[in-house]
Amino acid sequence: MRRFLRPGHDPVRERLKRDLFQFNKTVEHGFPHQPSALGYSPFLRLMAIGTRSGAIKLYGAPGVEFMGLHEENNTVMQIHFIPDQCQLVTLLDDNSLHLWSLKQHSGASELREEHRFTLKGPPGSPPSATQITAVLAHSSREVLYLGTESGNIFVVELPSFKALEDRTITSEAVLQRVPEDYCNRRSCELVEALREHPKNPDQILIGYSRGLIVLWDLQNNKATHHFLGSQQLENLYWQRDGSKFISCHYDGSYTQWPVSSDNRQPEPLENLVPYGPFPCKAISKIYWQTTKNGLPYIIFQGGMPRASYGDRHSISVVHGSQQTAFDFTSRVIDFFIIFSSEPAAEFDDPSAMVVLAEEELVVIDLKTAGWPAVHPPYLASLHCSAITCSHHVSNIPLKLWERIISAGSKQNIHYSAMPWPIDGGTNIAPDPPQRDLLLTGHEDGTVRFWDASGVCLHLLYKLSTVRVFLTDADPNDNMNTLGEDEWPPLRKVGTFDPYSDDPRLGIQKIYLCKYSGYLAVAGTAGQVLVMELNDEDAEHVVDHAEADLLQDQEGYRWKGHEKLRTRDGPVRFEAGFQPFVLVQCQPPAVVTSLALHSEWKLVAFGTSHGFGLFDHQQKRLVFVKCTLHPSDQLALEGPLSRVKSLKKSLRQSFRRIRRSRVSSRKRRGVSGSASEVQEANAKFDQDALQEMELAPVQRKIEARSAEDSFTGFVRTLYFADTFLRDSSRHCPSLWAGTNGGTVYAFCLRVPPAERRMDEPVRAEQAKEIQLMHRAPVVGILVLDGRSTPLPEPLEVAHDLSKSPDMQGSHQLLVVSEEQFKVFTLPKVSSKLKLKLTALEGCRVRKVTVANFGSCKTDDYSENDLAVLTNLGDIQIISLPFLKLQIRYPCIRKEDVSGIASCVFTKYGQGFYLISPSEFERFSLSTKWLVEPRCIVDTPEVTSNNHVHNKPGKENAARKS
């Protein structure tokens, strides 16, 4: 006993701690925040995404992913893979170039930055002279061609980034043989596009922004062809055989040009404004893909009629008489087409289109009729509706897992059956140790079920609670019902939809029992739904009850939102989780805590006014308890006058981000370039920051009193079978902890199974503990006679846990934001405590019991508390002696949203939002670690460049 009282002086314990605990941030799930650039290597079959914060992420086959971060944290403007190499070059908005390589290191590939380089012009030249606008990674793999604002094209050697000054292509040299009148009108042009001839590596096509296009011979260092375009140029694309190329323009037109040896200054073959005749937006990128049947695919971004559809983010695919304008809900950053890259192949035969929009990745199957979307295995848009809460369930039984997948597959029938086309690299990570589910609740009333077992966070199933309620927006009205002859032929794609029909639908709490398949979700307007998994569609009535949490309190007026109206009569539910009970709290305040006991068939819920217990077997409200302090007038008036809740601030900050993005988009002028947008954005952020800093920083020091506001706010609910009244008989109990430091314990009488429907469940208040430091109670836990936390309901029944020790004396652990306290039961006397805030000035934000296994021996594991504080630190605290084991800095303390979103797993891992759309996964355990481990092979034979179509797969085969 004595040695437990002295932390940190026991060498045995210290050694054990090293075998148990280790902190790693392992992988980022979800969609990169603010993507800014896209690149693809048909050779490696890897895709690269750059972001505004300087991150670069590579994705291949599911599980193959790499991440790098530019030190400068500047926006990534362009990404170019070096042909047939495991290398890529990035261009940042500070005009620096960075060379990255994938190299093998101890059995796995790693992404590393090799070199950096900034182009320097002759002394005295303006910065624009070397401002890079276009990059061409030449197929020789030896040089990069860098087009600049001045119109000059600089050449640098790879991988050294040595400038080859004698090979610079100056605009003067290019303009030499251009007709005088054309030349005069168009001097001082920036290089818009550089394209290598598909058959002849000695020829490159240079496109200048004002319309002039030149075919340059690198051997003889002279222009061989001049194409005198009359419109401002946006982009260029070579046709496969090199006989023609296509240019697209600012006015929404594209032009086909012939390349032949007899005419050095050809006229355009065809000039077309696809969505004319009225003024159109620019076409910023175009592909011309040949097929066996002769009809090409013409795929271009933009070009919509300015007046009526100028606000759409579209990419049009034209194939013969078929034409679809894919309509994205967020700005298109870039896109590419996956087509046959075999040099011997005669045609392009495009198979898929990959579009990086600002908020999601959309892949379209171009081979299947109707061009359906492909379900991405990664890069899921977590934020397709803002995340309002999350819940993690470890070690899902196979049966439940399969049922959820089957329910989800019925929802995904509109997706293409095409295998994921970006399949480079080999995943060599061991199979995930267990099946884990991450459930996210969203603002639009949906719950999404994610497979969180491995590196790829993959959507399994989506549950909507909207059907139960009557809302303003009718779910039947379809935005996509367009007539046959609708022009342009827009088709909405993607899942990102930030607009919520009704904020009251928002999900606030989720509890899933993995053994019984019971699911409870609770929302913003005091609604609590209990659901059951059904493998078939069904139509039934949802039983409805109301819980008046104010009871006898009088004279209070709720100024917040109204409760949700329910649908009368039976409701049709699709296969999956189907609600059978709805409890609505009155007043309809946000549900702040939720607990479900699947064995006793009870659900408990709490709001800022009190808590209640509902018997979902008999569908009867057992009791309600009002927790309001009589003087707490504020709590009754509703959310309008409330202090911001954490969740709320989380959501608001996301909204702010979104709003700022929208406003910056609006501000963007017609000719506004991306850098201007960023500048505007940066300025916006700065202004906001300065505003915050100017606020007077002063803090009141006052002891908390019982009369403080929001003391009744129920923070935590807990079911336990323990000794509440006397030490001879244990009984079911319900525990509730409030913001004001009060713990209520209710003794429950649940009738035995055979009389469960006949006798009512009874509850009686047995104890009330008032913590005098009055800090909010964030966690309640009962430890059994062996000081082990009580198992989850049904865990013992499924033989997955030892039955709790009911012989020895139980202990009660109460975690407040400031202290951890252990009390004895049934007679409450204080046994132990750990003061956190008084000594360190930090407060508990999240706390969970986690099981830590030793990495050295399989037979040792222990339960500890994983704690996240308001400073973003993670602490591990031992049970039952409450000794601090270890502490890791995890989240920046300024990142309030990140801290509020953190969720721990039962085996010492965790997730938190690093942006509205990305979860960072971390691990505290040496044993349970989920991180990417993959190999991308460099081809050994370099003479035969284009043979390796799928190096990853080949290598995998070679290995086995």
Partner 1 sequence: EFRRFSLERSKPGKFEEFYGLLQHVHKIPNVDVLVGYTDVHGDLLPINNDDNYHKAVSTANPLLRIFIQRKEDADYSAFGTDTMTRKKNVLSNVLRPDNHKKKPHIVISMPQDFRPVSSIIDVDILPETHRRVRLYKYGTDKPLGFYIRDGSSVRVTPHGLEKVPGIFISRLVPGGLAQSTGLLAVNDEVLEVNGIEVSGKSLDQVTDMMIANSRNLIITVRPANQRNNVVRNSRTSGSSGQSTESSLPSSTPNILANLLHGEEESDEEDIIIEDSGEPQQIPKAVPITESLESLTQIELLHESTQNGFLPSSEMNLNHSAGSISMEFEVQDPEQKPLEEDGTIITL
Residues numbered 825-864 forming contacts with partner 1, rule: CB under 8 A: 828-831, 833, 835, 837-843
Q: Which stretch binds partner 1 (CB under 8 A): 230-238, 310-318, 422-430, 759-767?
A: 759-767
Q: Is 357 helix (H, G, I), strand (E, B) or coil?
A: strand
Q: Is residue 694 involved in binding partner 1 (CB under 8 A)?
A: no
Contact between 407 and 535 under an 8 Å Cβ cutoff? The reply is yes
Considering the complex, what minimum distance in angstroms separates the CB of residue 951 from partner 1? 51
Contact between 25 and 339 under an 8 Å Cβ cutoff? The reply is no
Binder of partner 1 out of 821, 845, 883, 948 (CB under 8 A): 821
Residues numbered 860-899 forming contacts with partner 1, rule: CB under 8 A: 870-871, 893
Binder of partner 1 out of 38, 769, 850, 867 (CB under 8 A): 769
Q: Is residue 818 involved in binding partner 1 (CB under 8 A)?
A: yes
Rounded Cα distance, 299 and 316, in Å: 6
Considering the complex, what minimum distance in angstroms separates the CB of residue 747 from partner 1? 9
**Of 373, 378, 348, 377, which is closest to residue 363 (Cα–Cα)?**
373
Rounded Cα distance, 174 and 506, in Å: 61
Q: Which helix (H) or strand (E) holds 62?
A: none
Binder of partner 1 out of 369, 695, 701, 753 (CB under 8 A): 701
3-state secondary structure 440-455: EEECCCEEEEEECCCC
Binder of partner 1 out of 29, 312, 616, 767 (CB under 8 A): 767
Torsion angles phi and psi, residue 407, rounded to 5 = -65, -40
Which sign does the torsion angle of CA 185, 190, 196, 202 carry?
A: positive
Contact between 674 and 36 under an 8 Å Cβ cutoff? The reply is yes
Contact between 711 and 634 under an 8 Å Cβ cutoff? The reply is no
Q: Is residue 704 involved in binding partner 1 (CB under 8 A)?
A: yes
How many residues belong to the site for partner 1 (CB under 8 A)? 40
Binder of partner 1 out of 128, 284, 566, 824 (CB under 8 A): 824
Contacts of 483 (CB under 8 A, 6+ apart): none
Closer by beta carbon to partner 1, 143 or else 871: 871
Closer by beta carbon to partner 1, 666 or else 700: 700
Q: Is residue 2 involved in binding partner 1 (CB under 8 A)?
A: no
601: left (phi over 0), alpha (psi -120 to 50) or beta: left
Considering the complex, what minimum distance in angstroms separates the CB of residue 531 from partner 1? 35
Rounded Cα distance, 377 and 355, in Å: 15
DSSP readout, 523-586? ETTSEEEEEEEESS-EEEPPEEEEEETTTT--S----SPPPPEEPPS-EEE-SEEEEEEEEEEE
Q: Is residue 798 involved in binding partner 1 (CB under 8 A)?
A: no
Q: Is residue 773 involved in binding partner 1 (CB under 8 A)?
A: yes
What is the bridge-based pairing of β-strands 576-586 and 543-548? parallel
Closer by beta carbon to partner 1, 546 or else 894: 894
Rounded Cα distance, 600 and 49, in Å: 50
Closer by beta carbon to partner 1, 411 or else 653: 653
**Of 738, 674, 568, 564, which is closest to residue 93 (Cα–Cα)?**
674
Q: Is residue 765 involved in binding partner 1 (CB under 8 A)?
A: yes
Residues numbered 917-956 forming contacts with partner 1, rule: CB under 8 A: none
Tokens describing residue 660: 């700022």
Site string for partner 1, 775-794 (x = CB under 8 A): x-------------------
Considering the complex, what minimum distance in angstroms separates the CB of residue 567 from partner 1? 41
Rounded Cα distance, 451 and 459, in Å: 6
Residues numbered 535-564 forming contacts with partner 1, rule: CB under 8 A: none
Q: Is residue 219 involved in binding partner 1 (CB under 8 A)?
A: no
Q: Which stretch binds partner 1 (CB under 8 A): 629-637, 714-722, 728-736, 814-822?
A: 814-822
Considering the complex, what minimum distance in angstroms separates the CB of residue 481 from partner 1? 53
Tokens describing residue 378: 């990664």
Binder of partner 1 out of 102, 771, 913, 935 (CB under 8 A): 771
Considering the complex, what minimum distance in angstroms separates the CB of residue 751 from partner 1? 22
Q: Is residue 183 involved in binding partner 1 (CB under 8 A)?
A: no
Contacts of 513 (CB under 8 A, 6+ apart): 519, 596, 598, 792, 793, 794
Q: Which helix (H) or strand (E) holds 392?
A: strand 387-393
Q: Is residue 181 involved in binding partner 1 (CB under 8 A)?
A: no
Q: Is residue 807 involved in binding partner 1 (CB under 8 A)?
A: no
Binder of partner 1 out of 398, 479, 692, 772 (CB under 8 A): 772
Q: Which stretch binds partner 1 (CB under 8 A): 400-408, 760-768, 910-918, 922-930?
A: 760-768
Closer by beta carbon to partner 1, 481 or else 698: 698
Considering the complex, what minimum distance in angstroms separates the CB of residue 589 from partner 1? 26
Contact between 885 and 866 under an 8 Å Cβ cutoff? The reply is no
Rounded Cα distance, 254 and 247, in Å: 6
Q: Which helix (H) or strand (E) holds 682?
A: helix 674-694
Query: Could you list the residues that contact partner 1 (CB under 8 A)?
Result: 696-704, 765-773, 775, 818-819, 821, 823-824, 828-831, 833, 835, 837-843, 870-871, 893
